[in-house]
């Protein structure tokens, strides 16, 4: 979608949909690029509803308020709604392994001096963690691998590697957690299954102590499909993206509210 062109077209596209006593209108563009707050943090957009007022062939314009609009990249929507249709829209958001938004405040229970429990919610601005559902390992090298997967960015620069794993449907996590004396003959490892258009099966990330490098194995029904060796920690994200990321996470979820039909999309963005 040519965002510069759509910006120039917006006054014409929204004409007739803005009250005459309002001279300005606002619009947000959803084109698969991450949103950034005024403080410079990446943010995950909230779902919204609105009425489709225009379809340019490249963009779908949705009226979301009295003088507010959303512009959706037509190539990324899960359904192509007809003009006049009321829709609910959820652009991509980073999620945790439990399915909740990654920016969900963390909750903990604390107690007053008389023992009465109360709940404290904590949220750090710009934070959207996706912690691996794993126990605390005894092996320091395995703990370092967990930290790197949770903190290192994916190639898109918006997600961390663990968000990439969530989007790939990663589940059934297991670990190999050797004692220090066994680290050479038994490689620390994290295994999980994924299901994407690119790969379905088991993925294992191993730390090779002798080389101080990582390796990634793909298996299906116990059979080794592919193994990539000599992976530096900074290459984990791009290697996992190449092996298992099908790009469907970029899609903008659009669902029609009411009876009017729409055209469902089955394409995957390149």
Helices H / strands E in the chain, number of each: 4, 17
Among candidate residues 56, 51, 83, 69, the one with its CA nearest the CA of residue 14:
69
Secondary structure class of 267 (helix, strand, coil): coil
- pLDDT of res. 167: 97
C-alpha atoms less than 13 angstroms from C-alpha of 85 in its C-beta half-sphere: 21
pLDDT at 217: 98
pLDDT at 270: 52
Q: What is the pLDDT along the chain (270 residues), one digit of tens a residue?
A: 899 999 999 999 999 899 888 889 999 999 988 888 777 788 899 999 999 999 999 999 999 999 999 999 999 999 999 999 999 999 999 999 999 999 888 777 888 888 888 888 776 666 789 999 999 999 999 999 999 999 999 999 999 999 999 999 999 999 999 998 898 899 999 999 999 999 999 999 999 988 899 999 999 999 999 999 999 999 999 999 999 999 999 999 999 997 555 555 555 555
pTM of the model: 0.86
| pLDDT given at position 268 | 57
Q: Residue 180: what pLDDT?
A: 86
Q: How far apart are CA 144 and CA 203, in angstroms?
A: 18
């Amino acid at each position: 979608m040519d965002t510069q062109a759509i910006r120039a077209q917006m006054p014409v596209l929204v004409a007739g949909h803005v009250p005459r006593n309002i001279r300005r209108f606002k619009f947000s563009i959803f084109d698969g690029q991450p949103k950034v707050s005024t403080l410079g943090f990446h943010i995950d957009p909230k779902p919204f509803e609105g009425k489709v007022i225009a379809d340019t062939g490249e963009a779908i314009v949705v009226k979301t308020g009295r003088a507010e609009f959303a512009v959706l990249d037509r190539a990324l929507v899960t359904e192509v709604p007809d003009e006049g249709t009321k829709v609910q829209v959820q652009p991509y958001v980073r999620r945790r392994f439990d399915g909740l938004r990654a920016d969900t405040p963390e909750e903990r229970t604390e107690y007053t001096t008389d023992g009465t429990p109360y709940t404290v919610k904590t949220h750090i601005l710009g934070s959207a963690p996706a912690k691996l559902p794993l126990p605390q390992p005894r092996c320091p090298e395995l703990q370092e691998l967990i930290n790197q997967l949770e903190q290192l960015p994916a190639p898109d620069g918006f997600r961390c590697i663990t968000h990439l794993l969530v989007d790939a449907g990663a589940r059934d996590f297991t670990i190999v957690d050797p004692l220090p004396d066994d680290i050479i003959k038994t490689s620390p490892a994290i295994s999980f299954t994924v299901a994407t258009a690119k790969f379905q099966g088991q993925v294992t990330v191993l730390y090779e102590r002798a080389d101080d490098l990582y390796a990634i194995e793909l298996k299906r029904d116990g059979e080794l499909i592919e193994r990539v060796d000599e992976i530096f920690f900074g290459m984990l994200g791009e290697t996992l993206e190449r092996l298992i990321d099908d790009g469907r996470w970029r899609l903008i979820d659009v669902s029609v509210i009411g009876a009017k039909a729409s055209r469902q999309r089955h394409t995957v963005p390149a």
